[in-house]
Structure 1
Amino acid sequence: MTVPNVTLNNGVEIPQLGFGVFQIDPKDTKEATLTALEVGYRHIDTAEMYGNEKEVGEAVASSGLKRDEIFVTSKLNNGFHATKDALQAFDTTMDDLGFEYLDLFLVHWPLPKIGDFVETWQAMQQILESKRVRAIGVSNFQPHHIERLLKETDVVPAVNQIEVHPYLTQDDVRDFNREHGIATEAWSPIAQGKVLDDATIVDIAERLGKTPAQVTLRWHIQRGDIVFPKSVTRERVVENFNLFDFELSDDDIAAITALNRDERTGPNPDEFNYIPS
């Protein structure tokens, strides 16, 4: 199956479907990532905070694929928002991954009460100028956070990675991103499994002969978001990849979107100021 690409605002192309390694134990990450690459995924999403960048890098190196065949994202950890710290943290990420370049590097959280995310973004711009990363973006930024970046800095984020699923559709943030040429990436795309028993999604899945997870992920794809489900089970990894031999109707998409409850599985970005110890 051919996974469509999304073209970012600087011309870089990113596969719309990827494989996420959030909450995968480092000891399991290499094998899980290799499984995803064998299945056909060519987009891997990791982060400094996940503690498994090294294993992602090992999987890429062992995959038999060329480096430029795999799109890899990582994210700046929360404890390194000052300029010098951010630059050093990126160096550590590159050392852990074992890469000469990274495809996408994100500011993981805005941390509105800790430091100044504008300074952090200026450091990200320096990293971009170094040519060691192809694109930079943000994660969990609200529109008012991005508005500051647009006013006070020179580079528009290529991506904003936010929590999105049928119980948290985030259409206001997605619309803002679209209006400013920022691609939306959806984390927790099935609400950590909470939506899989929803009657609306189950009914659509039964009618189409698909699983609730496939229907939910297809909903993301048809709405234009970049999505990266995660699993350590090969059967589920395969299932999550098989999204391109069916389509949801407009009515199906509307019915799933109507399930919105503004219900988060993760923190509110305006209140989250956690720095790992």
Structure 2
Amino acid sequence: MNGPAPLLTLNNGVRMPALGLGVCQSTPDETVSAVTTAIEDGYRLIDTAAAYGNEKEVGEGIARSGIDREDIFVITKLWLTDYGHDATLRAFDTSLTKLGLDQLDLYLLHWPVPSAHDTTVASYRAAEKLLADGRVRAIGVCNHTPGHLAELMARTEVVPAVNQVELHPNFSQPELRAFDVRHGILTQSWSPIGGVNRYGGDGTGKVRDPLQEPTITGMAEKYGKSPAQIILRWQVEHDLCAIPKSVRPHRIAENIGIFDFSLTPHEVAAIDALDTGARGGPDPDRVALDTFS
């Protein structure tokens, strides 16, 4: 067994592992075994979402693991079709039922919706109610820029505990990370190894595969690690929480095998310098309620 990952403290005192398993694009059939394998390998954080269609299987995997519920940190997310105050409360109930849980560790709004900001605010206020009622231990958002966060915080009471965003060496979002730090928001990285660059892209020609960067492959050779492990260790050195996705047992084990070495400040800076400013996923400023329908 690898791990365990160190714990990061959220702005309300809740502690969350610095590395977890993501299950975006994992089919329901693959998800149960991926979750059980990850837990056996030392993972204690599982990230899913209503939109992924595998919350039920995540819950099954957790139940089969035999690990006490309080030792597993579970995240799920509200999808756009359920934005609005009352719809959010109903969607949360549905997610909790599918997961087979009595309480959630972290509930996130999946995207900002600039064209329907009032609806986004209403959903976040519903999340605040869930937090106040003790049904979730922390709340936050995904894919929010500093501007989105500032607008949301101006109209709500609870500062998001987490902002989950696309973040990898070729798109490292330093300004966003700095904003999050100033406001006590923990930045969580989806596509932390740059997988989005292998199946997406923004059409500018700037998008590259971080796993192929000579800077990273050179460090992998030096440390006897894989390029993916070097990237995940870079995430840890920046106090980020990474949630790499895999359904392959050897990759799941490899991804958590990063706590027996560290990178030097010079090496971290060299990876920082790979940033192109080009995202591989959708632009949050362009998301609307019907964007993904």
Length-normalised TM-score, structure 1: 0.98
Q: Shift of the alpha carbon at 1:106? A: 0.2
Runs of 4+ in 1 over 6 A off after TM superposition: none
Q: Within 2, Cα distance between the matches of 1:115 and 1:28?
A: 36
Structure 1: gaps (5+ residues): none
From the superposition, tell whether residues 212 and 274 of structure 1 become closer, same or farther in structure 2 (CA, over 3 Å): farther
Deviations 1:12-49 (A, max 9, x none): 00000111001101111011111101111000000001
CA contact (8 A) 1:81 1:115 kept: no
| Structure 1 counterpart SS, 2:286 | coil
Paired position in structure 2 for 1:196: 211
Q: Within 2, Cα distance between the matches of 1:125 and 1:231?
A: 32
Paired position in structure 1 for 2:26: 24
Equivalent residue for 1:125, pick from 113, 124, 128: 128
| Structure 2 counterpart SS, 1:270 | helix
Aligned ranges for residues 104-123 of structure 1 at < 5 Å?
Answer: 104-114=106-116, 116=118, 117-123=120-126
Length-normalised TM-score, structure 2: 0.92
Aligned ranges for residues 71-86 of structure 1 at < 5 Å?
Answer: 71-86=73-88
Paired position in structure 1 for 2:205: none
Q: Shift of the alpha carbon at 1:149? A: 2.1
Paired position in structure 2 for 1:58: 60
Is residue 134 from structure 1 mapped to residue 137 from structure 2 by the alignment?
yes
Is residue 267 from structure 1 mapped to residue 282 from structure 2 by the alignment?
yes
Is residue 216 from structure 1 mapped to residue 216 from structure 2 by the alignment?
no
Paired position in structure 2 for 1:46: 48
Equivalent residue for 1:241, pick from 256, 260, 268: 256
Aligned ranges for residues 88-167 of structure 1 at < 5 Å?
Answer: 88-114=90-116, 116=118, 117-167=120-170
Q: Within 2, Cα distance between the matches of 1:233 and 1:57?
A: 19
Q: Within 1, Cα distance between the matches of 2:210 and 2:244?
A: 14
Q: How many residues align?
A: 277
CA contact (8 A) 1:42 1:69 kept: yes
| Structure 2 counterpart SS, 1:259 | coil
Paired position in structure 2 for 1:232: 247
What is the percentage of aligned positions where both structures have the same residue? 47
Deviations 1:218-269 (A, max 9, x none): 0000011000111111111111010011111111101100000012121011
CA contact (8 A) 2:191 2:245 kept: no
Q: Shift of the alpha carbon at 1:2? A: 3.0
Q: Shift of the alpha carbon at 1:272? A: 1.9
CA contact (8 A) 1:118 1:148 kept: no
Paired position in structure 2 for 1:4: 6
Structural RMSD (CA)? 1.1
CA contact (8 A) 2:4 2:43 kept: no
CA contact (8 A) 1:82 1:115 kept: no
Q: Within 2, Cα distance between the matches of 1:36 and 1:274?
A: 33
Q: Within 1, Cα distance between the matches of 2:240 and 2:28?
A: 27
Equivalent residue for 2:172, pick from 169, 174, 178: 169
Q: Within 2, Cα distance between the matches of 1:83 and 1:121?
A: 8
| Structure 2 counterpart SS, 1:99 | coil
Q: Within 1, Cα distance between the matches of 2:129 and 2:148?
A: 20
| Structure 2 counterpart SS, 1:244 | coil
Q: Shift of the alpha carbon at 1:127? A: 1.3
Q: Within 2, Cα distance between the matches of 1:111 and 1:152?
A: 15
CA contact (8 A) 1:25 1:52 kept: yes
Paired position in structure 2 for 1:34: 36
| Structure 2 counterpart SS, 1:79 | helix
Q: Within 2, Cα distance between the matches of 1:274 and 1:90?
A: 18
